[in-house]
Structure 1
């Protein structure tokens, strides 16, 4: 990433494509923006000259091409005034496939395995903005409700047996897609709050993984011997991503639970119960990395305790949000 001028150009068109989609006043314009975004993201993934990156490019292109074809098909039928609940479901399905929500999530973890952390972060966050905004215009509540339940359940179960951290983050993202879809059922403002906090926490985690070049679960045990500050921040963010109170990640989930409990009590109970599974594998990683024996002397003054400035700033911002969350809890 950011190696040459071509990368900057493709990042610019990537952002432009998303902005065209969410600001367009017609479905054809939105489809064009999604295609510009797709054609800009593929060269960014292709920068890594290895077999796994090439495989990820092919899987991503095929899945997105199928989604675009179905979206264009449904748009053309809408122009012929064949609007019905079936066409609405087809339109929703194409957008759910675009963002990687269950039951159309089959491509997401496999594509994530071949990406570096920065392109993976773009896939987990920025690439979901346009599909989320577009699906908010044409929500089929019964179908989206099914996608919410499947995303939360499959995202939680899928992450239990993962040793690849990129796959773990992918299944975590699928789980959070379910929560973000449920926030869309309430209000677009709830979605914006949830999405911004998710982006902030994910960025804090990705920066640490990128700086230390960590890709697998086993690397966590040896990569933090010289930097316990990074270890502390990483696992605080992991617990926050799992929604453990009083960490920041619990705040948007709490808002959604509070809103859904009035009208969809059973749904809120299922969402909270299943999310305990995601919290389980976050706690498992945190507990193992903190308690496993380290061969280094922890009080050695000569070891470096420096932390990257970008990571430090993002984590202190997360800490500020944590303090704000505790303040909100005390008021309410």
Structure 2
């Protein structure tokens, strides 16, 4: 996906990768804070475009929210050093640290900036914000998390992500609420095992990379643009497969990590949480299917001067990834057992 960028932005993209390693490999909270700040500074030049007011507004909003989260994180670190380490202080500081990290990744109840910023970004920057920018806060969250607090936030993420997707006409906002919903699943996977979180994160990043790449090629930002008759049926079928896989419908590949999480919750007799997670996934599938149904059943006027041309190698690549998503669940299940 590097062809999205010019040489300057490719430089910032590579530095974004190395700056994430600073926070992960730090052996103190101050080093983690420095890595978070440098990582945010590497993302500002990617989303700021002087010729586009929406990108400039999104970069300013992102800067303000990340600055507030960093101040809270630094304040929690200082309190952790100054206060006595009794139970009340440890519980309060852990909630403060977790809240600042949740704000950085766009989790509920600090999610209000996330869909608005996504609306002003390109599809590549949206992909980075939904995937790569969540790595460092999630790993730092695993170092010092409050179990009861994060269990409540996890359920709230799944609920807000499912309910917020209704009545959305923008695909970027819809993907933002889908990211909030999947963030709840990732937090559940993180509390179970870091290996399970890594599996879920890699598969989720794989699926949204296909979606963002496909929407970039088609230059689609709103649902009514998918009614266009000139979009090939195979492309619409690829969008349908990837949407259903992202929603976690079996036998697609996106069902595999959710199946592992639900299996663990049921084995530990957490039936209410597992039922809640399954029901919210079904609600997510409702507005995914609404988009797919609208694009297949309704067509706008076919304009001869408006045609979408995609190179054959790109279309083959998208169909190959969709085929992996279709058969990946069956193959992974056979390999798992």
Q: TM-score range by the shorter chain?
A: over 0.9
Compute the displacement of 1:113 (Å): 0.3
Report the Cα distance in structure 1 between the residues aligned to 2:252 and 2:50, rounded to whole angstroms. Answer: 35
**Counterpart residue number, 1:300:** none
**Counterpart residue number, 2:39:** 37
Match of 1:44, SS state, is helix
* Unaligned ranges ≥5, structure 2: none
Contact 2:105–2:134 under 8 Å retained in 1: yes
Cα 1:129–1:304, aligned 2, differ >3 Å: closer, same or farther?
A: closer
**Counterpart residue number, 2:93:** 87
Compute the displacement of 1:274 (Å): 1.5
Note if 1:309 corresponds to 2:313. Answer: yes
* Unaligned ranges ≥5, structure 1: 298-302
Q: Give TM-score, length-normalised by structure 1.
A: 0.92
Report the Cα distance in structure 2 between the residues aligned to 1:4 and 1:306, rounded to whole angstroms. Answer: 21
Report the Cα distance in structure 2 between the residues aligned to 1:102 and 1:304, rounded to whole angstroms. Answer: 38
Match of 2:281 among 265, 275, 279: 275
Compute the displacement of 1:176 (Å): 0.3
Compute the displacement of 1:323 (Å): 1.9
Match of 1:136, SS state, is helix
Report the Cα distance in structure 2 between the residues aligned to 1:130 and 1:282, rounded to whole angstroms. Answer: 29
Contact 2:157–2:180 under 8 Å retained in 1: yes
Match of 1:247 among 239, 247, 252: 252
Compute the displacement of 1:81 (Å): 5.4
Number of residues of Structure 1 aligned to a counterpart in Structure 2:
326
Cα 1:120–1:261, aligned 2, differ >3 Å: closer, same or farther?
A: same
Compute the displacement of 1:3 (Å): 4.8
Residue deviations 1:156-175 (CA, integer Å, cap 9, x gap): 00001100110000000000
**Counterpart residue number, 2:182:** 176
**Counterpart residue number, 1:233:** 238
Compute the displacement of 1:58 (Å): 1.3
**Counterpart residue number, 1:99:** 105
Report the Cα distance in structure 1 between the residues aligned to 2:72 and 2:315, rounded to whole angstroms. Answer: 40
Contact 2:24–2:136 under 8 Å retained in 1: yes
**Counterpart residue number, 2:65:** 63
Query: Alpha carbon RMSD of aligned pairs, Å?
Result: 2.1
Q: How does 1:204-223 map to 2 (within 5 A)?
A: 204-222=210-228
**Counterpart residue number, 1:257:** 262
